[in-house]
Structure 1
Amino acid sequence: MSRVDNLNRILRGLQTGSPDVEASALISEDGLMIASALPQHVDDTRVAGMTATLSSLGARAASELERGTVQEVLVRGEHGYAVMLASGSGTLLLALASKQAKLGLLFLDMRRAADDIRKVL
């Protein structure tokens, strides 16, 4: 099994293990898609670029506001959440979750997936 296959398996596992996770992706810090479990109508390139940009802005804000190293970036919209967290080796894990998502469980599941991703990378 290739690394990409393993990464896609981890992303699918995040979605099946967390019923509130609607989609997920692994993105490089410079905005390139590595693996994804996104709906077909979603433009991978745009999602990757936006995720990297938001993560970078979150890191800069945390630094400027003296909050230390950013742990995660959370965007809450009318239809749910977009959560980004560093998953090691210059990668970002993105999860799109429903508005009913329990954030504590979501963060826990994402951290576990990030640990699995680090083992593959």
Structure 2
Amino acid sequence: MNKADLLAASLDEFLDVSPDVEAAAVVSTDGLPIASALPPYVEEDRLAAMSAALLTLGERAASGLGKGSLAQVFVEGEHGHVVLMSAGDSAVLVAVTSGEAKVGLTLYEMRKTVAQISQHMDSTPSSEPGPVQEDIVEKSSADMVAAIEPTTPPPSTTWGPPPAAPNAEPVSSWQ
């Protein structure tokens, strides 16, 4: 069995033991779909992109508040839940549940499935090619966001009101 088949089998098994889970997917930490078991009304690319956004916010909140590495993100809506759980360094298990889902049981089954997915993602069968470049550097989505957001203003930036226009006349009073 190749990696894709192993991941699909793990998702199928998860859905078999979790009847209140409506959709499940394995996505990369940068928002690309890896494997999924979705109903027709859920778009794979859209679910993966939303998962990446939630993951980024969760990572920033956990690390920014001194709570360490992100373990899971839990979103509760009127009609159900969306749960993201880390599955190793490069993947996330996403589950979309109905409103009647037993949350504790869903989280328990997700942890079991995450352990399987982590093993599948970490294994590299000899029949699959390795990376093309050996100097590829992986960064988490939080690292990428942090890299583009300035934390302090550049030295030449002056905070305060903008300078007056060069030919502007001062306003002496309001009429």
Same fold (TM over 0.5): yes
Instruction: List per-residue Cα deviations over 1:39-73 (Å, max 9, x = no partner).
Output: 12221111101101101100101112222222110
The structure that has the greater radius of gyration is 2
Distance 2:97 2:91 in 1: 19
Tell me by how many angstroms 1:119 deviates. 1.7
Query: Once structures 1 and 2 are overlaid, which stretch shifts more, 54-63 or 64-73?
Result: 64-73
Structure with the larger strand share: 1
Which residue matches 2:131? none
| Match in the other structure for 1:44 | 44
Report the CA distance between 1:89 and its aligned residue: 3.4
Give the aligned length.
121
Once the two structures are aligned, what percentage of the paired residues are identical?
44
Displacement, 1:35?
A: 0.1
Unmatched 5+ stretches in structure 1: none
3-state DSSP of counterpart to 1:70: coil
Aligned 1:1-121 pairs, distance under 5 A: 1-121=1-121
CA distance in 2, matches of 1:58, 1:119: 24
| Deviating 4+ runs (over 3 angstroms) | none
| Richer in helix (by share) | 1
Tell me how far 1:105 sits from its aligned partner.
Answer: 1.1
Q: Secondary structure at the match of 1:88?
A: coil
- Normalising by the residue count of structure 1, what TM-score does the alignment of the two structures yield? 0.94
For 2:6 and 2:17, the matched residues in 1 are separated by 16
1:112 match: secondary structure: helix
Q: Which structure has the higher relative contact order (CA within 8 Å, separation 6+)?
A: 1
What residue ranges of structure 2 are gaps of 5+ in the alignment?
Answer: 122-175
Distance 2:79 2:55 in 1: 20
Distance between the aligned counterparts of 1:89 and 1:11, measured in 2? 18
